[in-house]
Amino acid sequence: MVYIYNEDGGNVMENVNVKPKIVVTLSAAKNQWDDLYKKIEDNELYIDIIEYRADLCDSQEVPDYVEDIKALKEKFNRLPLIFTYRTRGEGGQGSKEPNDYYELNKAIIEEECIDIIDIEMLLYEDLRDELIQLARAKGIQVLVSHHEMEHTPSLKELKALYQHMQQLNVDYSKLAVMPEDGRDVLKLLTAVYETKQDSHHHIVGIAMGEQGKLSRLAGGAFGSDLTYGHIGQEAAPGQLHVQQLKSLMEIYQ
Ligand SMILES: O=C1C[C@@](O)(C(=O)O)C[C@@H](O)[C@@H]1O
């Protein structure tokens, strides 16, 4: 199978087959970082990007987050880092209201210690667009995300969501849905595939849960640029350990 990449890696120009990067989702309480560093080291071969999930240690303040992130960057400087504060409505544990969500993300952007920032599409438009602009001005890539934790929207709606996301001046557009059956997984993959046909954006599509595991493994064949895994405990329904993810993904590459 032939893959065609552009120079900055991963984005396919003529063929939807993508070699997805593996993102490990992680977070730890203050006294648990040493354990986690060890796990990252043990699994470094299977990881392309680190996702720091700030909502999983929701009571921390900006300086605590920055300290964690800087320590991660120092130890694993080859790995780009995504900062994510996932709110409850989108399947996370974050309890911040929109204004506090905005303030936290703004402060993190201003620290210039991250490579990519995950911004929820449904945040109030003015706050969201301002965060996107601030991040871009600092040279930080933007990943706009939306989770449907209860169901899978229709193909038409999924494609409309991707279209909307791509108009937001972002680098990555990510949708995660909860499928009820195989047909829902196909809908998500079809939306990724059809969106990727005429797009040079990074597209990410995830069907969660047991049924959706196929999308985590085979998403690249449909054009999905990232797949998320764990190194101990799943952070979202259906996540696989990065080692298993990497070895099972080989059959598609
Ligand atoms: O959006 C995503 C994808 C995810 O929800 C998953 O299903 O693997 C895991 C989250 O940490 C990440 O921010």
Per-residue confidence (pLDDT) for residue 3, from 0 to 100: 42
Q: Is 51 annotated as a binding residue?
A: yes
- CB 162 less than 6 A from any atom of ligand 1: no
Residue 25 falls inside a structural domain: yes
Atom 6 (ligand 1) nearest CA: 236
Per-residue confidence (pLDDT) for residue 15, from 0 to 100: 53
Residue 10 falls inside a structural domain: no
Residue 243 confidence (pLDDT) above 50? yes
| ipTM of the complex in this document | 0.98
- How large a percentage of the chain has pLDDT more than 70? 94
The CA–CA distances, whole Å, from 54 to 34, 98, 100, 179, 205 equal 17, 15, 13, 26, 22
Residue 94 falls inside a structural domain: yes
- How many Å lie between the centroid of ligand 1 and the Cα of residue 170? 18
Residue 12 falls inside a structural domain: no
Q: Are 145 and 128 in contact (CB under 8 A)?
A: no
Per-residue confidence (pLDDT) for residue 13, from 0 to 100: 47
At 8, which helix (H) or strand (E)?
none
Catalytic residue among 159, 174, 202, 213: 174
Token pair, residue 245, equals 């993810």
Mutating to test ligand 1, I would choose from 22, 86, 204 the residue with most ligand atoms within 8 A of its C-beta, which is: 86
- How large a percentage of the chain has pLDDT more than 90? 87
19 is catalytic: no
- For the chain, what is the domain count? 1
Residue 221 confidence (pLDDT) above 90? yes
- CB 53 less than 6 A from any atom of ligand 1: yes
Nearest to 200 by CA among 242, 170, 243: 170
Model confidence pLDDT, tens digit, residues 43-73:
999 999 999 999 999 999 999 999 999 999 9
Residue 11 confidence (pLDDT) above 60? no
Model confidence pLDDT, tens digit, residues 161-172:
999 999 999 999
Residue range(s) defining the domain that contains residue 31: 21-252
147 is catalytic: yes
Distance CA 184, CA 88 (A): 23
Residue 174's φ and ψ, nearest 5 degrees, are: -120, 130
Distance CA 18, CA 223 (A): 5
CA angle 207, 230, 193 (to 5 degrees): 30
Residue 79 confidence (pLDDT) above 70? yes
Residue 95 falls inside a structural domain: yes
Q: Mean of the pLDDT values across residues 215-234?
A: 96
If pLDDT is split at 50, 70 and 90, which confidence band does 16 have? confident
Residue 4 falls inside a structural domain: no
Per-residue confidence (pLDDT) for residue 209, from 0 to 100: 97
- How many Å lie between the centroid of ligand 1 and the Cα of residue 227? 9
Residue 11 falls inside a structural domain: no
- How many Å lie between the centroid of ligand 1 and the Cα of residue 136? 22
Q: Are 248 and 218 in contact (CB under 8 A)?
A: no
Residue 126 falls inside a structural domain: yes
Selected residue with higher pLDDT from 53 and 14? 53
Token pair, residue 93, equals 């544990």
- CB 203 less than 6 A from any atom of ligand 1: no
* Percent helix, percent strand, percent coil in the chain, to nearest 5: 45, 20, 35
Q: What is the CATH number of the domain that holds 82?
A: 3.20.20.70
Model confidence pLDDT, tens digit, residues 98-153:
999 999 999 999 999 999 999 999 999 999 999 999 999 999 999 999 999 999 99
Residue 22 confidence (pLDDT) above 50? yes
The residues pairing with 241 across neighbouring beta strands, listed in sequence order, are 230
Mean pLDDT of the chain: 93
Q: Mean of the pLDDT values across residues 152-163?
A: 98
Per-residue confidence (pLDDT) for residue 6, from 0 to 100: 45
